[in-house]
Amino acid sequence: MFKRILIANRGEIAVRIVRACQEADIEAVAIYSDADRHALHVKKAGEAYNIGPDPVAGYLNAHRIVNLAVATGCDALHPGYGFLSENPELAHICARRGIKFIGPDARVIRSMGNKIEARICMQKAGVPVVPGSDANLASLAEALRLADTIGYPVMLKATSGGGGRGIRRCNDRAELERNYDRVLSEATKAFGSAEIFVEKCIDRPRHIEVQILADEHGNVVHLFERDCSIQRRHQKLIEIAPSPQLNDEQRARIGDYAVRAARAVGYQNAGTVEFLMDSDDNFHFMEMNTRLQVEHTVTESITGIDIVGEQIRIAEGLPLAFTQADIQRRGYAMEFRINAEDPKNDFLPSFGRITRYFAPGGPGVRTDAAIYTGYTIPPYYDSMCAKITVWALHWDELLRRATRALHDTGVYGVKTTIPYYLEVLQVESFRSRHFDTGFVEDHPQLVNYKTSRPARELAAVIAAAVAAHAGH
């Protein structure tokens, strides 16, 4: 059994992993950059080591991090999400240095990190994939030829992409010609790889993903699905489990696909299989994330399973303590990513000092945060600073409770996405469970919620004053 785990991450996910360690009587060893000297994960962990002055470089230096794990007597390393979590080199170096990597092995990370390889693998396993190319594009001419056979609109995507970057929709030939070099350069800049491919653009899709757990003894289970259709620029904002848009037959089918996908690649530990559901309710495999996800909390809420705890137990070599039939779900859960952004100003990052912070409470409300009163959010990292996860037995009750929980939250000093979510909760299509990945773009008035209202009010005040003046 593990005695010490090095947490190769920061922010709320590092705090989440510290909590799992504490419950398992494992010592948590944190790392931090100079900018993160006052970060919450540093305060929560038993021990913390500075990994240098650069805000980001230290968190991306696999050799240095594993050296530190060895030097501090750790037996395992948890990568969290983002940073090196899907970097096969880190898993490989850990294996070589005798540090157990809490995740799948390097070979699986590498093959699923390549969206083309993943597509080919899933097709072989009988999992339906989004129609598209089965090799990287060699030229624009090839892209145009393929798009003609697939049919417009198409998506140009970075083969090693992630975090919603390196994805562009092309409605016709002209757009494909225009976007080709852009995606190529985005892919090169963001992922250090000029590999791109083309796939069919699914019209008004719903993003449905399945959480899976696989132990080192061949047992694979799924923990039902999450609906992550509420996105902005291909990045998730709100996630819901189970999807309120699926019936039980569809739920069983997508769960089976995910388990089949995990088995096909010899998957171990926690992972997520992402699908797009088209308007005819067909599922299409999109990609597999070989790590813990931001939104794992909603799945924990409906199943009662501690996913990070399970990751640790799986890495310790223990068999899963439950079978598929043992896994029950109850109610609905919804996660809100609290980003330090100004929703009325095109979601511009809003970094700075948190002058006051109150976490929400009450029944069915969970907070995973990296902030506290007096903390200054540094500008170098992701703007997500907290997550609020709300659970309720019934959908309507969840909507009411979520509204209450968001009102119950106090984050002062920076702008956040909370007012935006309060607006989303009022939208009829959301409340009646009919929404797709176009939701945010389809409701531009929500983004301008504040500028439009006071502006209208102000106009009315001025009009009244003018009328009164004219009356004199």
Catalytic residues: 291
Residue of the chain from 12, 27, 225, 287 that contacts ligand ADP (CB under 6 A): 287
Q: Is 232 in the site for ligand ADP (CB under 6 A)?
A: no
Q: Which three-class secondary structure state does DSSP give residue 193?
A: coil
Name the one range near Mg ion by CB under 5 A: 90-98, 195-203, 269-277, 300-308.
Answer: 269-277
Q: Which three-class secondary structure state does DSSP give residue 216?
A: coil
Q: Is 364 in the site for ligand ADP (CB under 6 A)?
A: no
**Residue numbers 272-311 binding Mg ion by CB under 5 A:** 274
Cβ–Cβ under 8 Å, residues 309 and 20: yes
The number of residues making up the chain comes to 472
Q: Is 361 in the site for ligand ADP (CB under 6 A)?
A: no
Nearer of residues 4 and 9 to ligand ADP, judged by Cβ = 9
Nearest approach, Cβ of 356 to ligand ADP (angstroms)? 26
Q: Is 204 in the site for ligand ADP (CB under 6 A)?
A: no
Cβ–Cβ under 8 Å, residues 134 and 116: yes
**Site mask for Mg ion (CB under 5 A), range 220-259, x = bound:** ----------------------------------------
Name the one range near ligand ADP by CB under 6 A: 139-147, 196-204, 314-322, 459-467.
Answer: 196-204
Nearest approach, Cβ of 62 to ligand ADP (angstroms)? 14
Q: Is 17 in the site for ligand ADP (CB under 6 A)?
A: no
Name the one range near ligand ADP by CB under 6 A: 28-36, 227-235, 362-370, 387-395.
Answer: 227-235
Buried/exposed 59-83: b ≥16 CB within 10 Å, e otherwise: bebbeebbebbeeeebbbbbbbbbb
What are the start-end ranges of the E strands in 82-185? 100-101, 154-158, 167-170
Nearest approach, Cβ of 437 to Mg ion (angstroms)? 11
Cα separation, 297 vs 293, whole angstroms? 9
Q: Is 202 in the site for ligand ADP (CB under 6 A)?
A: yes
Where residue 111 falls (left for φ over 0; alpha for ψ -120 to 50; beta otherwise) is alpha
**Site mask for ligand ADP (CB under 6 A), range 118-147, x = bound:** ------------x-----------------
**Site mask for ligand ADP (CB under 6 A), range 416-455, x = bound:** ---------------------x------------------
Beta-bridged to residue 388, according to DSSP, are 336, 367
Cα separation, 261 vs 34, whole angstroms? 41
Nearest to 106 by CA among 226, 284, 268: 268
Cα separation, 49 vs 462, whole angstroms? 59
Cα separation, 103 vs 83, whole angstroms? 14
Cα separation, 131 vs 281, whole angstroms? 15
Nearest to 155 by CA among 183, 122, 189: 183
Nearer of residues 228 and 302 to Mg ion, judged by Cβ = 228
Q: Which three-class secondary structure state does DSSP give residue 115?
A: helix
Name the one range near ligand ADP by CB under 6 A: 100-108, 197-205, 345-353, 448-456.
Answer: 197-205
Nearest approach, Cβ of 64 to Mg ion (angstroms)? 28
Residues of this chain that bind Mg ion (CB under 5 A):
274
